[in-house]
Amino acid sequence: MRHTVFCVLSVLIPIVLALVSLRYFTDFWLLSLVYSFQIHLSIICAIGAVVALFFKRHWYGFVMLAVATFLNIHGVIMLREFAGKMPAEDAPRLFRLMSFNIEFDNFGNAEKIADAVLASGADVVDIMEAQPVFSQLPRLAQIYPYRIGCDMSDACDTLVLSKRPFAAHKVYDLGALWKQRLVSTKIDFDGTWVDFLFPHLTKPYFDDFQADELVELKAIMQSRTGALVVAGDFNSAILAPTIQEFLRGTGLTTAFPEPTTWPVAAGPFGISIDHIFARSPLLIRSTSRLGDSFGSNHYGLVSDFVREY
């Protein structure tokens, strides 16, 4: 019995470790979700290796444990690579941003979602799959008089709300699969002009569509040289090679650790596939997760920004 358990674990664990380790050789789209769960899977494999060693002390068990530990540590290092500098404690808040994918068929919670938006204190709000809150727009307009998106109830994916006027804005068709899932705008915060890009990316296991969208998004960023915020549903964790390639060289940073946003059932043990990034001279003071998902399959995020002087 002990030998059988050891043999079964010695087969299953290396398979999982091999799949995770493929990230160092290929960014094959079909494995993107596996890469996003690198830390989770490596922890599970490490526990499995300890269990295997309990049943039989063998050098192969120690090798499995060592590989799993390496993958776990390197996963944390990769997350920290894009951690932004913490601002001074007395730095005044420049603005607050809320970003939330509310799920396209979540009509039963529209009023609660609108209540959460109004109670957030956010200066700018990015709502994705926003059609359920279409009926709440008149109420939201009392606090957020400026709006991009949802001009028609049947064309309402990305909705951007603001307390301040938009200096300019444009809605892009990002990639070849979906329409109008990138909003660009610029807002003046008491003399500090901030560019915003709000993407809603394709799921990573839809062929190479997400990678192509990131290439387009990076190209659009190049014309924006000042303070920049990029926030939205990326459908992948920072650990995914496509997201890392996008972030490297852009100057974008994020809060560390990022709050987990998906799957909702996993709570704090999920992964962060919704992101809020900033570029100098902006710094993220904090990013927090909404306490309720309000029926969505994502948690929403709220970030406070300050200016670096």
Residue 88 lies in a domain: no
Q: Is residue 89 part of a domain?
A: no
Number of domains in the chain: 2
pLDDT digit string, tens, across residues 66-76:
999 999 999 99
Residues 117 and 218 in one domain: yes
How high is the pLDDT of residue 158? 92
Whole-number pLDDT of residue 157: 86
Query: Is residue 90 domain-resident?
Result: no
Per-residue confidence (pLDDT) for residue 154, from 0 to 100: 54
Cβ neighbours, 10 Å, residue 45: 25
Residues 103 and 66 occupy one common structural domain: no
Taking the C-alpha atoms of residue 203 and residue 219, their distance in angstroms, rounded to an integer, is 20
One domain for residues 14 and 114: no
Question: Does a structural domain hold residue 87?
Answer: no
Task: Tell me, yes or no, whether 224 and 256 share the same domain.
Answer: yes
Task: Express each pLDDT in 9-42 by its tens digit.
Answer: 889 999 999 999 999 998 888 888 899 999 999 9
One domain, residues 48 and 194: no
Q: Are residues 229 and 103 part of one domain?
A: yes
70 within 8 A of 43, measured Cβ to Cβ = no
Contact between residue 255 and residue 229 where contact means Cβ atoms under 8 Å apart: no
Looking at the structure, tell me whether residues 206 and 57 fall in a common domain: no
Residues 162 and 125 in one domain: yes
- What is the dihedral sign for C-alpha 213, 216, 218, 223? negative
pLDDT at position 223 = 87
Asked whether residue 151 falls in the same domain as residue 47, the answer is no
**What does 46-91 look like in DSSP terms, one character per residue?**
HHHHHHHHHH---HHHHHHHHHHHHHHHHHHHHHHTTBPPPPPTTP
Apex CA 260: angle with CA 170 and CA 258, to 5°?
75
Residues 217, 69, single domain; the answer is no
Q: Which domain holds residue 27?
A: 2-80
Does residue 115 fall inside a structural domain?
A: yes
Say which CATH number the domain at 247 has: 3.60.10.10
* Residues 194 and 217 placed together within one structural domain of the fold: yes
- What local confidence, expressed as pLDDT, does residue 90 receive? 84
What tens digit of pLDDT does each residue of 161-174 get? Answer: 999 999 989 888 88
CA distance 122 to 184: 18
**174 and 209, same domain (yes or no):** yes
Q: Could you say which residues of the chain have pLDDT below 50? A: 153
Interhelix angle for 38-55 vs 2-21, to 10°?
Answer: 160
Which residues, including other chains, have CB under 8 Å from residue 191's CB and lie 6 or more apart?
none
